[in-house]
Amino acid sequence: MFLGPYRFGRGAAAAPPEAEPGSPAQAPASGPETSDQNVADGPRVALALGGGAARGLAHIGVLRVLERHGIRPSVIAGTSIGAAVGGLWAAGSLDAFEAWARRLTRRSMLSLIDPALGAAGLMNGRRLLDRLRAEVGSVTIEDLPIAFSAIATELGTGHEIWLTRGNLADAIHASYSLPGIFTPVKVGGRWLMDGALVNPIPVSSARALGGRIVIAVNLNAEVFGRGTVIQDHGGPIVSTAEALAKKKEGIARMWRPDRILRGGFLPGPVDGPKAISAVMIDAFNVMQDRIARARLAGDPPDVNVAPKLGKIGLFDFHRADEAIAAGAEATERVMEDIVTAIEALR
């Protein structure tokens, strides 16, 4: 499998062995352009689909609205869930995936969990991979009718990897392997994990693959707002004795019969983070948000789609209807900007 350009922080990209620096082989198109795309053969429209786990179901709504307006992207670069939804659409399998996602419940989600005891993650992710294979089979990225890349991060080096050739399901699997949750995936001799660690909204890859108009979908725009620096934590320093007393009071409350019946004793302290997984996910959210801001500032898209997903958690896959609707609504809001950008380059 070809592993696209490796990016080292803000430095230049290093070419793979089979390509000279700056040659087209660094970011090859994965397939021919379709004849009915981009509104009467307009400029190549590219989608940069960001990461965000369950919030990424909003990408389905984005694609559906573009289709209704006669806009078919000829380039898709996706990170994590963005790679999954974008890859499924490119392979012609999004209808079945959308129907399955809309049927998901909290209970049915449990069937997708495959614990990885003693491994480098809580889950192997094999059941999700099996679901992907059921939809796309053995399709390769080269088989797709559009240019496609799945963004991943190399474990140990932090290199940004663009997966532009090889098995589509394997590329998607590597791109969504969230550290600590899923075990890393070995592709082309490298151990890979979630691409959101280096490029949460892959505008750069979408442009490199030939996109003249890049539409970016930011799933986390509403999660943190603008962000700021707080110089004063806003409260008095609590003494050790006071903190201990509050902790004992919290433990007593946790073991009340009514809380036990509701499962309230499981997550953790009443007035603190609910579980180690919740802390880890929140930290990942913060990191992804800050990296996305920096990357978008240096390489802004032509149009930005920002679905309102602040109330949907990373693992709220059972809320597919809400996420899809939010993606559709956000795309309709900027449709005039999209059409204007296309018309300007005709």
pLDDT reported for residue 6 = 33
Which residue carries 């801001």 as its tokens?
A: 293
C-alpha dihedral (60, 63, 67, 73), degrees to nearest 10: -150
Q: What is the pTM of this model?
A: 0.76
In angstroms, what CA-CA distances link 67 with 37, 45, 225, 278? 9, 12, 29, 36
pLDDT band per the 50, 70, 90 thresholds, residue 203: very high
Does the annotation count 282 as an active-site position?
A: no
Which residue carries 């004795």 as its tokens?
A: 241
Q: How far apart are CA 42 and CA 247, in angstroms?
A: 63
Tell me the one-letter amino acid at 332: E
Fold (topology level) of 45-225+275-344:
Cytosolic phospholipase A2 catalytic domain (3.40.1090)
pLDDT at residue 44 tops 50: yes
pLDDT tens by residue, 287-313: 888 899 999 999 999 999 999 998 898
Cβ-based neighbour number of residue 235 at 10 Å: 6
Catalytic residue among 30, 74, 80, 93: 80
Residue 52: is it exposed, middle or buried by C-beta count within 10 angstroms (0-12/13-18/19+)? buried
Alpha helices in the chain (DSSP H): 38-41, 58-68, 81-90, 94-103, 106-110, 126-136, 168-175, 203-208, 221-224, 240-254, 257-261, 276-298, 320-333, 335-344
Does the annotation count 194 as an active-site position?
A: yes
pLDDT reported for residue 130 = 83
Residues in the chain: 346
Q: Which residue has the higher pLDDT, 243 or 183?
A: 183
The mean per-residue pLDDT over the stretch 223-243 comes to 55
pLDDT at residue 210 tops 90: yes
The helix/strand/coil state of 81 is: helix
Contact yes or no for 78/346 (Cβ under 8 A): no
Tell me the one-letter amino acid at 327: G
Crossing angle of the two packed helices 58-68 and 81-90, in degrees rounded to 10: 40
The mean per-residue pLDDT over the stretch 173-190 comes to 88
The helix/strand/coil state of 280 is: helix
Q: Which residue has the higher pLDDT, 324 or 184?
A: 324
Cβ-based neighbour number of residue 294 at 10 Å: 12
Catalytic residue among 74, 170, 175, 194: 194
- When the pLDDT of each residue in the chain is averaged and rounded to a whole number, the result is 78
pLDDT tens by residue, 263-276: 443 444 444 545 55
pLDDT band per the 50, 70, 90 thresholds, residue 221: confident
Q: Please give the full DSSP string across 233-267, using - where no structure is assigned.
A: -SSPPPPHHHHHHHHHHHHHHHTSHHHHHTTTTTT
Q: How far apart are CA 49 and CA 220, in angstroms?
A: 12
pLDDT reported for residue 9 = 31
pLDDT at residue 202 tops 90: yes
Q: How far apart are CA 206 and CA 39, in angstroms?
A: 19
**Residues paired with residue 48 on neighbouring β-strands, in sequence order:** 77, 216
Q: Per-domain residue ranges for the chain?
A: 45-225+275-344
In angstroms, what CA-CA distances link 161 with 153, 188, 189, 193, 223? 6, 11, 12, 10, 26
